[in-house]
Amino acid sequence: MVNIQFPDGAVRSYELGITPMAVAKGISEGLAKKVIAASIDGVVSDASTPINKDAALKLITWDDADGKSTFWHSTAHLLAEAVEATFPGVKFWVGPAIDRGFYYDMDLGGKTISEEELSNLEKKMGELAKQNNIFIRKQISKDDAIAYFAEKGDEYKLDLLQGLTDGEISFYTQGAFTDLCRGPHIPHTGLIKAIKLTSIAGAYWKGDEKNKQLTRVYGVSFPNQKELDEHILMLEEAKKRDHRKLGKELGIFTFDDNIGPGLPLWMPNGTVIIEELERLAKETETAAGYKRVVTPHIAKESLYITSGHLPYYQESMYPPMELEGVKYYLKAMNCPHHHKIFSAENRSYRELPLRLAEYGTCYRYEQSGELFGLMRVRCLHMNDAHIYCSKEDFANEFRAVNDMYIKYFNIFGIDKYVMRLSLHDPVKLGQKYINEPELWLETEEMVRQVLIESNIPFVEVPDEGAFYGPKIDVQIWSAIGREFTLATNQVDFAQGRRFGLQFTNRDNQPEVPLIIHRAPLGTHERFIGFLLEHYAGKFPLWLSPVQVKILPISDKFNDYAFSVNKQLLEAGIRSEVDDRSEKIGKKIRDTELMRVPYMLVIGEKEQTEGCVSVRRQGKGDAGQCSVSEILSTLTSENKNRQSI
RNA sequence: GCCAGAGUAGCUCAGCUGGUAGAGCAGCUGAUUUGUAAUCAGCUGGUCGGGGGUUCGAGUCCCUUCUCUGGCUCCA
């Protein structure tokens, strides 16, 4: 007998070797039908795994995250079965579950999968699923496994096997398909009721661009059609808030073939947002003791030799222009320029911390395939600043920067993000990372403490730091689910020395400052791209390109409309009159679609009484009020940067 | 940069097997003077991304190039 403990704490005895599926059946047939896998003492396993000792058991269904990933991983096997039937001789690499679905990487031996074949594969998978084929696990010796794939001529699986330990190797078979796999898998293919193959892509083997490119097929599956329909609907909804679509509709930015890829043109509406963000940054930074600087967009090659960006970063920079035998580069970062401002004068410890801020324009020659709307561009405006400080000041300065992030994020209501603390790898000191083992540990600990004290959830990622120090990145996701770093906060104990930066300390000795690179608002490009999706185009008043639209009921009230408009403009409100001879319904519709936060409807009654009828975007009629009342509402909401 | 798709009016799209381009919206003009998400009518607008080729004839077939999209690699 074995004693099995359930998640609610209850313990029941079963005969030795009972499977989770049998346990489920003992509870109810309905439950058994839903069981996908089981967690046995915390290890996710097949529902058919015999339990041979006392254990804690959790039955896993579709509702569990582990259930979904098991389900999707099994669907990946189903895909492989369908592909093998369609493309004999195909070789497979790996087919994991991902956040939303699964993929399988394969070598089709030069063949390609067309869109049509993709939907055929989808149908084929549906047929195979209906066969209710059981996923059969088989423990196999390493030699036998190698022999099997050598026979098959599959160098990818042989490569995988090299990294595996004999005794821990298993095969899974469903229907006509057998794969090297650790598992677990769902009981049988019949559970997979709805399948969608979403896209075909190229993916480098082992993620290395020097390797051969395999064909990757992405897909997603569900235990019923309804959930698939909902999933597709959700994707369509997400597309509606895609910043590329909204940016066009709202007249925020545009691209032009003759300007160049990745070089956004900011239209008047977008420029309003840029200027409001800069105003916020300037107010905040001035209050925090920053000093503003302005630097040129280009610099001589020698600057980037000093900084070490050449030749390592060269391929990400626009090629140089040569004048009188000297090469000039468009700047890809502002740091070296700021360092030169630091070193322009003799610095005393009394001047520190010195905080130099600039919305710096940078140019990066990103690979063409990486460009993505506003999120990844070649001309970017960075909310940059460099803080030069002594080691003693460091923790305070870093904390202050962190507080600034939090302050900003509160203003924008940004809560779906992950703070990522990127650390060094001691093995790579002197190669990927500057060889200062103690400074690394010391600054990493300081940064960690700041994060813990400020109560911000964060994840630590080894071997992701910058060359010159640890960093914190704020990770966000675009509407279609792509991940980006929105903002960054980096420690730098290398560039100071490279640039020969120093200040005279209290002991009248020269000392190299520590440098903090920080960009809490990231770049205008990515930040506004993010905000467009974050707000779904419905910016709060202070960021709205047009804050108020005045809508006269008919031409007769245009004069009064313009007189109200004049008062608003004089109070600093971005207001416009819609004086077209359209019906009020049409004017409202157009203004709603442009996401203008306030509409003032004006007709006979309002003109006579000298008031306005207020309509809030998305909320409808909000009643009448006097011009001075609406003016003070707008002014205070605007000034306080109120969110909606 | 690589793999796979796409590019027709400002926008969203139609155009069967090759026979010298269409709709809705937007824009303009006029009529209408309107009370909380689309008033009506007329008009303008495209060398079908660019270049080359096949053909009597190319939006449609082929090559090439540019741009975009989905991924990979890479990053704010």
Tens-place pLDDT, residues A222-254:
999 999 988 888 888 888 899 999 999 999 999
Q: How far is the CA of A258 from the C1' of B50 (A)?
A: 12
Give the pLDDT confidence of A565-594 residue by residue, as tens digits.
999 999 999 999 999 999 999 999 999 999
**Closest nucleotide to the alpha carbon of A200, via C1':** B4
Q: How far is the CA of A116 from the C1' of B61 (A)?
A: 20
Which residues fall within 8 angstroms of residue A198, CB to CB, at 6 or more apart? Answer: A101, A218, A219, A220
Q: Any idea what DSSP says for residue A188? A: B
Q: How far is the CA of A113 from the C1' of B57 (A)?
A: 35
Q: How far is the CA of A538 from the C1' of B34 (A)?
A: 28
**Closest nucleotide to the alpha carbon of A622, via C1':** B36
> What are the counts of helices (DSSP H) followed by strands (DSSP E) for chain A?
19, 34
Interface ipTM: 0.93
**Closest nucleotide to the alpha carbon of A524, via C1':** B76
**Closest nucleotide to the alpha carbon of A464, via C1':** B75
Q: How far is the CA of A493 from the C1' of B75 (A)?
A: 22
Give the pLDDT confidence of A15-62 residue by residue, as tens digits.
999 999 999 999 999 999 999 999 999 899 999 999 999 999 999 999
Q: What does pLDDT average to over chain A?
A: 92
**Closest nucleotide to the alpha carbon of A589, via C1':** B37
Q: How far is the CA of A567 from the C1' of B71 (A)?
A: 52
Residue nearest to nucleotide B73 (CA to C1'): A209
Give the whole-angstrom CA distance, residue A225 versus residue A126: 12
pTM (2 decimals)?
Answer: 0.91
Contact A36/A62 with Cβ under 8 angstroms?
Answer: yes
Q: What is the 3-state secondary structure (H, E, C) of A313-362?
A: CHHHCCCCEEECCEEEEECCCCHHHHHHHHCCCCEEHHHCCEEEEEEEEE
Q: How far is the CA of A257 from the C1' of B48 (A)?
A: 18
Give the pLDDT confidence of A445-476 residue by residue, as tens digits.
989 998 898 888 899 998 888 888 999 999 98
**Closest nucleotide to the alpha carbon of A586, via C1':** B38
pLDDT, position A172: 93
Residue nearest to nucleotide B1 (CA to C1'): A367
pLDDT, position A308: 83
Give the pLDDT confidence of A102-158 residue by residue, as tens digits.
999 999 887 778 777 888 889 999 999 999 999 999 988 999 999 998 888 888 999
User: What is the torsion angle, in degrees rounded to the nearest 10, for the CA atoms of residue A525, residue A531, residue A532 and residue A535?
Assistant: 180
Give the whole-angstrom CA distance, residue A104 versus residue A185: 15
Residue nearest to nucleotide B32 (CA to C1'): A581
Q: How far is the CA of A342 from the C1' of B58 (A)?
A: 64
Backbone angles phi, psi at A614, to 5 degrees: -95, 135
- Between the alpha carbon of residue A589 and those of residues A88, A420, A582, A586, A593, the distances in Å are 57, 43, 11, 5, 6
Instruction: Please name every residue paired with A5 in a beta bridge, in sequence order, or none if there are none.
Output: A11, A56
Give A429-484 as a DSSP string. BTTTB-S-HHHHHHHHHHHHHHHHHTT--EEEETT-SBTTB-EEEEEEE-TTS-EE
Q: How far is the CA of A443 from the C1' of B23 (A)?
A: 64
Contact A602/A593 with Cβ under 8 angstroms?
Answer: no
**Closest nucleotide to the alpha carbon of A210, via C1':** B73
Q: Which strand B nucleotides have any atom less than 7 A from protein CB atoms?
A: 1-5, 11-12, 31-39, 66-76
pLDDT, position A310: 82
pLDDT, position A262: 94
Give the whole-angstrom CA distance, residue A59 versus residue A21: 8
Q: How far is the CA of A489 from the C1' of B71 (A)?
A: 29
Report the candidate in A113, A60, A58, A315 with the shortest Cα–Cα distance to residue A209.
Answer: A315
Report the candidate in A201, A200, A191, A184 with the shortest Cα–Cα distance to residue A227.
Answer: A191
Q: How far is the CA of A568 from the C1' of B30 (A)?
A: 33
Per-residue exposure over A608-643, b if at least 16 CB sit within 10 Å of its own CB, e if not: eeebbbbbebeeeeeeebebeebbeebeebbeebee
**Closest nucleotide to the alpha carbon of A261, via C1':** B67
Report whether pLDDT(A168) > 90. no
Contact A514/A391 with Cβ under 8 angstroms?
Answer: yes
Q: How far is the CA of A200 from the C1' of B70 (A)?
A: 8
**Closest nucleotide to the alpha carbon of A521, via C1':** B76
pLDDT, position A636: 96
pLDDT, position A208: 86
